[in-house]
Chain A
Amino acid sequence: MKQIADFRLVEKRDYGRSVLLRIRSVQTLPNIAPGQFVQVRIDGSPTTYLRRPISIHDVDFQRNEITLLVQQVGEGTRHLASANEGDIINIVFPLGNGFTLPETGENILLVGGGIGIAPLYYFAKMLVEKGIRPTLLLGGKTESDLLRLADYQKFGDTFMTTEDGTLGEKGFVTQHSIWQKQSFDKIYVCGPKPMMKAVAKMAAEKDIWCEVSLENLMACGLGACLCCVEDTIDGHVCVCKEGPVFNTRRLKW
């Protein structure tokens, strides 16, 4: 069941352009699937009217905590990043559909680009809990884009690319040598749209099952306003309600 609730910011970690926000509720959390997202109300910013959809980076059900990894891309997210520990963060959650859980024994590749690595953390954690050790391929423009790398590396073999070559192989995730060396049963991708399209194309060529997580501009987050639509084989569908995770076969990419 979806909820609207006040959380308190209990930890804030500064990563330069991005910020990690750990927020706690006094209520017991509902079930939250990896790949779902929250809509954060931005308080006190006169130019920010709507909530901001943010992916769920991690969940701690014992402590009723949700962690968000937020990149400052505009006025709304800049304002959110300026919150202080102790501040109230109001969210509507959990929204959308998460990643499809793979079967035990399948070879899984998680591909993250830039801040798109955020939801893969919670997903990788859940996979490991279920006895599935994923392979991770994380890309960024430069070294400092690959946040919490040591924490991601705990989940499985982790490969990196940077466009400037400061970390891992130089280039895009689609150019990494891993594609020549290993085969995968399922690929899960979150990152900038051009990157997701490129990975989806490769997956299609290799006939590999692939899911991507989209982040179209949203207003309601509930499937009511029909603003965040993506073109699919079933017509225009709401990313917030029918996504944000889509099997690439459904998309008209």
Chain B
Amino acid sequence: MVNMTIDLGRGLVLRNPVMTASGTFGYGEEYTDFVDLSQLGGIIVKGTTLNPREGNPYPRMAETASGMLNCVGLQNKGVQYFMDKIYPRIKDFDTNVLLNLSGSTLEDYVKGAEMIDALDKIPAIELNVSCPNVKQGGMAFGVTCAGISQVVSEVRKVYHKHLMVKLSPNVTNIAEIALAAEAAGADSVSLINTLMGMAIDAEKRRPKLSVITGGLSGACVKPVALRMVWQVAKAVKIPVVGLGGISNATDAVEFMLAGASAIEIGTANFIDPAVSAKVAWGINEYCERHGFEKVTGLIGALEC
């Protein structure tokens, strides 16, 4: 029996290192026909903002080689709607339910975090300071040390549970950003959010996305994500949650070897809705095969 437990700190204990990435798993309900949620370390539900957002116009998606671009633009019904309508439906899932919180202004982040702090069954917020698809805020906070420091420290004052900060890869030096988040009070960092990209329809001479640019995800981003996880894990002392193109257990193990304490599965959920539970089992199988009694033994075990 491999001990698969991961303790990310401040009360966030995962049954195993596998979580599902925000925006790719709905509120979990969309996947219960395919995945027994109790097989997962956690699910991170759809990016939520203080006030409702209609998101960007259609088309919001363009397929790319081994990946996809999206410009959904944080469509959601707001924190209050989440608390009133969605939370009661999902709070008793037999897994950790984390909420991804985004915002346009500092006040939005703080107010949203304050409201979510009151929800007993939400053990953590993943603070989204890295969405490339909204005009104001979002990624703006996540691309400078001063910006991330400000938003994390203000949220930290009102949020008493585990605060995970999701980092943008669209920066010059992600380790510096991660250090700023750590210094401002983050309990963990997750990375990477999508890479800014673009797709063009040559025949029509038009962009394929309604707002021209979008975020790239899927298998194609994995080498970039892996490199950034490795760099950040070397720099910070808080746990790192790795994501970006993870499609199977081997990918997940690679992220842990690079220094991730846990991982998130994103776009791969679209291709195989049952992939997340398979990855959890596959990590277990890897540990057995390589003689790891605890999955924590994989963290940063890269030999180089």
Binding site for B on A (CB under 8 A): 1-4, 41, 46-51, 92, 216-231, 235-236, 241
Contact = CB atoms under 8 A, between A and B. Distances in A.
Interface residues of B, number: 35
Contacts of B30: 220, 222-224, 241
Instruction: List 5 tightest A-B contacts by C-beta distance, closest first.
Output: A224-B26, A227-B61, A2-B33, A220-B270, A222-B30
Interface in B194-242: 218-219
B69 to A, nearest CB: 10
Contact of A4 (B26, B66, B272): B272
B33 A46 contact: no
B75 interface: yes
A219 B266 CA distance: 12
Contacts of B66: 46, 49
B141 interface: no
Interface stretch (B51-59, B113-121, B157-165, B252-260): B51-59
Contacts of B269: 220, 224
A219 B58 CA distance: 13
B32 to A, nearest CB: 9
A229 B60 contact: yes
Given A219-B270, A235-B54, A236-B55, A224 B61 contact: no
Contacts of A41: 271-272
Given A1-B33, A50-B63, A229-B58, 18 more contacts: A4-B34, A4-B273, A46-B66, A47-B65, A48-B63, A49-B67, A49-B218, A49-B219, A216-B58, A217-B59, A218-B61, A221-B270, A222-B31, A224-B30, A225-B24, A226-B75, A227-B60, A229-B55
A173 B33 CA distance: 40
A48 B24 CA distance: 19
A2 B59 CA distance: 26
B188 interface: no
B25 interface: yes
A136 to B, nearest CB: 30
A229 B59 CA distance: 8
A46 B65 contact: yes
B271 A2 contact: no
B59 A51 contact: no
B23 interface: yes
B82 to A, nearest CB: 15
B271 A51 contact: yes
B60 A224 contact: no
B70 interface: yes
B241 to A, nearest CB: 20
A224 B25 contact: yes
A217 B72 CA distance: 13
B61 A217 contact: yes
Given A223-B26, A225-B24, A230-B58, A236 B273 contact: no
Contacts of A48: 63
Interface string B135-169: 00000000000000000000000000000000000
B75 to A, nearest CB: 5
Contacts of A222: 26, 30-31, 273
Given A49-B63, A223-B26, A224-B31, A229 B270 contact: no
B33 to A, nearest CB: 4
Contacts of B218: 49
Nearest to B72: A226
Contacts of A47: 65
18 contacts: A4-B273, A41-B271, A48-B63, A49-B64, A49-B65, A51-B270, A216-B59, A217-B58, A217-B60, A220-B269, A222-B26, A223-B30, A224-B25, A224-B26, A224-B46, A227-B72, A228-B60, A241-B30
A51 B269 CA distance: 11
B189 interface: no
B68 interface: yes
A235 B53 CA distance: 10
